Amino acid sequence: MDYRLDIGMWNQVFAVPCALVDRHLKLAGKEQLQVLLYALRHAGEGFTPEGLAGDLGMTAEEALDGLEYWCDRGLMSQSGGTLLPVPQDGEVSQPSALQEEPPEEKPSLPPKKRLLRPDGEHLTARLAESENIRYLMQEAEATLGKTLSPAMSALLLTITDDYGLPVEVTIMLLHYAQEVGRTGTSYIDSVARDWAESGIFSLEAAEEKLRQLTNARLAWGKVSAAAGLTKRSPTKSEEEKACRWVYEWGFSQEMLEAAYEACADHTGKFSASYMDKVLGGWQTLGIFNRADLEKHKQAAPAKQKAEGTAEKSYDIAELMELADFRLPDKL
């Protein structure tokens, strides 16, 4: 006699990382969650960003942004067109093919002196022999406002001994983490690794990096406020676009709100790619406030008629569609 457990649709399931629920479910946006679930569902099958985008009803750039979001969060890593789960200590990740491309070489951290995080005995020995390490631990406790856990102490030692960051640079990193309210070991470790891979080994380089991080955080804050987004971290692409809109093109909060209104009218949701096209069109036309936007809206039909040729008429119509010149009722 054969026995079989039939649990209906649960016969066909796929695994979802616990880290998704524990750390990212509240902060990730709908599109990011859709992209990750799609990637998990098609693990091992191979898929293209275009196919993913078509199945989920989004643009290819939004699909790539979603994949990049999870790579930035440390849930996946990417080498060429292959996505890999980020392994824990002692684990070996198995590839899930996205598309066939040769692996790309990435900058590596300074060679590690140990394969594992330092244990308590090694930490005690380093504290006894190094005044710099003792100073680092004292400053870390003062900066974070609490007694260091064994995991944090081990991480700080790893950052200095294995990643190669000087003590003063590590302290600057801790001050920034405290300022942004992200003092967990996972975040500090990811930032420290990024700094080491980027060659941030001096106070001057650290100051410049912190300036860039602060500017990016402020720019994204303006965009989040304009679009009414729930608190979440941006993807690298979203962060770059926000900095371009605010610092390179000089758009005010008012115009970010206008661009989001145009975006929402056209797409029904926040789309950094669409807002980039809207603001890029306005920047090209010299439209930097609502009065200019209203003036151009009124002048556009007459200008289109005056241009005369079908080719020019098409170009102007395309610009109008790109910038979505429909203004909200309330200016």
Report long-range pairs for 218-222 (Cβ below 8 Å, ≥24 apart): 218/246, 219/243, 219/245, 219/246, 219/247, 222/246, 222/253, 222/256
Q: Give the pLDDT score at 16.
A: 80
Cβ contact 159:185 at 8 Å: no
DSSP 11: G
Instruction: Report the predicted TM-score, pTM, of the whole model to 2 decimal places.
Output: 0.57
For 89-104, give the secondary structure using H, E and C.
CCCCCCCEECCCCCCC
Q: Among 76-80, 183-187, 324-328, which is the least confidently predicted range?
A: 324-328
Q: What is the pLDDT of residue 18?
A: 81
Alpha-helix runs per DSSP H in the chain: 18-19, 30-41, 49-56, 60-72, 120-129, 131-144, 150-161, 167-179, 185-197, 203-227, 236-243, 253-267, 272-285, 290-307, 310-323
Is the model's pLDDT at 328 over the cut of 60? no
**What per-residue confidence (pLDDT) applies to 90?**
41
- The b-or-e profile of 297-322 (16+ CB within 10 A means b, else e) is eeebeeebeeeeeeeeeeeeeebbeb
pLDDT tens digits, 276-302: 999 999 999 999 999 999 988 887 666
Q: Where in the chain is the domain with CATH 1.10.10.10?
A: 11-97
Mean pLDDT along residues 201-218:
94
What number is the average pLDDT over the span 84-96? 48
Could you give phi then psi for residue 85, rounded to 5 degrees?
A: -70, 140
Q: What is the C-alpha R_g of the chain? A: 25
**CATH architecture label of 11-97:** Orthogonal Bundle (1.10)
pLDDT reading at 31 higher than 50: yes
- The helix-helix angle for 131-144 and 150-161 (nearest 10°) equals 130
DSSP assignment letter at 29: -
pLDDT of residue 317: 47
Give the pLDDT of residue 195. Answer: 94
Nearest to 226 by CA among 255, 268, 184: 255
As a whole number, mean pLDDT of residues 12-29 equals 74
Helix (H, G, I), strand (E, B) or coil at 178: helix
Of the candidates 131, 191, 129, 193, the residue with the CA atom closest to the CA atom of residue 167 = 131
Angle at 266 between CA 51 and CA 70, to 5 degrees: 45
CA-to-CA distance for 118 and 158, rounded, in angstroms? 7
Nearest Cα residue to 64 out of 213, 209, 251, 237? 237
Q: What is the pLDDT of residues 48-66, one digit of tens each?
A: 778 888 888 887 777 777 7
| % of the chain beyond a pLDDT of 90 | 42
The CA-atom distances, in angstroms, between 25 and each of 22, 36, 278 are 7, 11, 30
The confidence score (pLDDT) of residue 4 equals 60
Cα–Cα nearest to 177, from 191, 194, 156: 191
User: Could you give the CA distance from residue 39 to residue 34 in angstroms, rounded to a whole number?
Assistant: 9
Tokens of 78: 């990417």
d(CA 124, CA 316): 71
Is the sign of the CA dihedral 267, 272, 274, 279 positive or negative?
Answer: positive
pLDDT range class, residue 274, cuts 50, 70, 90: very high
Length of the chain: 331
Lowest mean per-residue pLDDT among 76-90, 103-117, 207-221: 103-117
Residue 76 carries which DSSP code?
E
CB 325 within 8 A of CB 293: yes
The more confident residue out of 11 and 104 is 11
Q: How confident is the model at residue 258 (pLDDT cuts 50, 70, 90)?
A: very high
The answer, yes or no, to whether residue 210 has pLDDT greater than 80, is yes
pLDDT at residue 84, rounded to an integer:
65
What fold does the segment set 120-201 form as a domain?
Arc Repressor Mutant, subunit A (1.10.10)
Residues 176-180, mean pLDDT to the nearest whole number: 92
| Least confident stretch, 20-29, 76-85, 231-240 | 76-85
Higher pLDDT, 183 or 317: 183
- Give the percent of the chain with pLDDT over 70: 73
Sheet holding 82-85, edge to edge: 76-79, 82-85, 96-97
